[in-house]
Chains A and B, each alone.
Chain A
Amino acid sequence: MIPLLLIIPLVFALLSVLLPRLPIKAIAIPGLVLQLIASIQLSVHTYKHGASDYALGSWEAPLGIALHANGFTVTLLTLTAFIAIVCAVYALIYLKRYEHEQRYFWPLFWFLLASLNGIWLSGDLFNLYVGLELLTFSAVGMVALTANKASLQAAIRYLFAALLGSLGYLAGVALLYGQYGTLAIQEIALIGTSDAPTQVALALMTVGLLMKTAIFPLHYWLPPAHGGALAPVSALLSALVVKASFYILAVLWLQLAPDAISPAAAQVLGALGAGAILWGSWCAFRQPDIKMLVAYSTVAQLGYLMFVFPLSIGTNAAAAELAWQGTVLHLLAHAFAKSAMFLSVGTLVLAIGHQGIKDLAGVSHRVPLALFAFGLSAVSLMGLPPSGGFNAKWLLLQSALSSGQWWWFIFILGGGLLTAAYIFRVFSVSFIEEARHKFAPTHWLLDVSALTLAAAAILLGFVSQWPLTLMELVPGVRS
């Protein structure tokens, strides 16, 4: 069952390269449904029987490559399949205006999904590198799709940053292989020590992955890439792509070699997260362009992910567990809310024909559903109840209290207020009665897809137990 999640996207990627335009669009949704079914099945299997390993080619690690499915990975697989299917529905409508681009959107889309699934499942350090490169290439290609000067520049910047990050990661892999003679994460987790090569390897890999996750101050490439891409692309990039490198970072720090990590290093990562929240929010507040505002919001929201390290390393077990749960919920809630936000903003821009915040005047009357989806996702981003974002922040706050680290408490709370500040800039304009521009009608499915994701972000507040129950099946992270 596990390899199906690799085979389905790869097969559809190849078909999308080969087939003419119409069948490509026709097969997209059935393929995504297949993928969703496969990931739900795997989740159920994992829930019933616990984590499972899969030796590719019948070769056991360390000689072969092992895939590994646990509660965390199946959550991410299902998240990916779900967001992908909604974004695909949106893209089918949205890309009608981009005759040329959509011919190349779909192969890249499928390769992106293949690499994401590959990364969630992989248990091998080098295989993760190849997966990361596949992910980068497809993401960069999607950013460059429109091939105008700005998007090309954003794509080049993104590519260079990501390549530098990959090399940092690969250098770490080289040192670890020299040190342990194996690439299997589970093997190194068993024999890992805290000697110099291991620490240096982790440092190099961490910097590389921070670059790819766009954590402040290495975030410079993200806003033009995410803000400049086509709406469904931005949604995929912000919801899923940056989470892949964070996932690897979390696996390295919490599973691969927890002994080699010092609490001081964890505090540094937390400080970067705090910096991301402050700087990202400030920049979002100052953006004249709505898409750039949402992109900078991603920079800020990624900062919360970094708090898992100071809250779970060198603290008590209860605080660590709360931090981990809060982080997973934040990852999910942000994925739903941010993809919803990019999609709804895409619809708004489509309706108005402009993307300045000032141009949004009058949208509350003319494009109410898209604005409603934007509002719902904003509720989760700000961390207001009831929403997945609220539960996530609540757990993180409790963890900060439980571990006696009041300083993170301030940033977690303050981040919500800052989010509110830049979100209300949008609302204050959108409720102005007088419209500045003519409105073009938009397809109803665009609104439905954005609303679906926004609703998911809110609903997550009611069913937070589901992912958290699955999370208890993750070995090794509950220190």
Chain B
Amino acid sequence: MMWFDLALGLGLIIAAIGVFRSEDLFRAVVLFVTFGILLALTWLRLQAPDLALAEAAIGAGITGVLLLDTLGVFRQHEQDINPRSSSQLPDISRQWAANVLALIACISAAGLLAWSLFNTLKMPAPHHNLVTVVEANIADSGVSHGITAVLLNFRSYDTLLEVAVLLVAIVIGIGLRERVTTSANATSDEGQSKLSEPPALLTSLVRLLLPLLLITAIFVLWAGSTRPGGAFQAGALIAAAGVLARLGQIDIAARVTTMLRLGLTLGVFIFLIVAVSPMLTGKPFLTYPAGWEGTLILLIEFMLTISIGLILLSLFIQAPRPRIPAPVRNAIPATGPNAIPATGPNAIPATGRNAIPATGPNAETNKGGDQ
């Protein structure tokens, strides 16, 4: 063990403590991204370059972008609604109870984990050893890189469900953003703020970076069958390219069209078709026909990359945003005769176009939350 590992491990812990202790959310997020970069280094030390790539692109990259964007939205929203809002007095007794609870939880978790890890050191090697099993079977998997073989062949069912998880996230994201309104032209730009004109330098930088990112994504995808890389990392790069394009005012995936839906589901669809088709010949679900493993895995990975990239990008673009201050039109107060509290049909106006009357005189929302 080297001093470097000692320092890196401690660095991770210090960065984490920094995240927890910082009062300012922006600072906390910046420290969190730093933590992600340190973690990517750690994965390299653990001889897991795939994870290093994934952590840097997804863990630190995409997550960081989403978090920073959210803070920006909060700031804008605060200015719109109520310049000096919030900061209610903390509920002292509640906070105190949480602290005690946290202390008990931490001590028990620490005790349990320490006891477990200490005992592990005294034990012989585990009964099973999947390392050798993977090595023995990798020749039949169609790819030569272990992780890709596990993800897309040996345990491809996990991957199928995992992409379904991503899909559920974006379905909810779209569902919470889009609102049906009566006027046809209103749907497209609801809840979407136009970015201000970007500086020329940024635009040209984006133009330069875009093709570079896309090429890298394709390389990472292709590399996945023989060395570190694969659909998820490549998908994250595609998403990053999309976020950049967005900053440079290139409008992609901004509208929920049938094409976008098709793109989002494409990966799972192709995956399912490939997985089901061998059942017609009596083979189990998710079996690849002999000799076709490599080709089919590449096909699935390619489709998955497109879908994952689009999903991650849409999670960024479709996330709810405050509307640019616009004249509030005919704000109907949501007090119908038989209003079931905010779930009935009469509640729909309250969640529709006029939901967040950012500058409206009858802003229903600036009372500060509960808690």
Contact = CB atoms under 8 A, between A and B. Distances in A.
Interface string B201-230: 000000000000000000000000000000
Interface in A1-48: 3, 6-7, 10-11, 13-14, 17-18
Among B119, B128, B369, the one with the most A-chain Cβ atoms within 10 Å of its Cβ is B128
Contacts of A147: 175-176, 351
Given A56-B157, A146-B347, A175-B116, A191 B179 contact: no
A134 B161 CA distance: 7
Contacts of A65: 155, 157-158
A353 B284 contact: no
B342 A150 contact: yes
A126 B175 contact: no
A197 B348 contact: no
A114 B272 CA distance: 13
A230 B119 contact: no
A3 B285 contact: yes
- Tell me the dominant secondary structure on chain B's binding face: helix
A287 interface: no
A209 interface: no
A97 B286 CA distance: 40
A264 interface: no
Given A100-B348, A200-B116, A146 B168 contact: no
A103 interface: yes
B161 A179 contact: no
A57 B133 contact: no
Given A62-B130, A140-B172, A349 B154 contact: no
B134 interface: yes
A7 B272 contact: yes
B350 A180 contact: no
A472 interface: no
Given A57-B156, A100-B348, A146-B342, A63 B130 contact: yes
Interface stretch (B53-61, B192-200, B233-241, B256-264): B256-264
Contact of B284 (A58, A101, A141, A149): A58
Contact of A438 (B127, B284, B338, B342): B338
Nearest to A438: B338
Given A57-B153, A148-B347, A103 B158 contact: no
B13 interface: no
Interface stretch (A74-82, A104-112, A243-251, A332-340): A104-112
A71 interface: no
Interface string B275-308: 0100100011111100000000000000000000
15 contacts: A3-B286, A13-B164, A54-B284, A57-B288, A63-B154, A111-B168, A115-B161, A127-B161, A134-B168, A137-B169, A138-B168, A146-B347, A148-B342, A187-B128, A197-B120
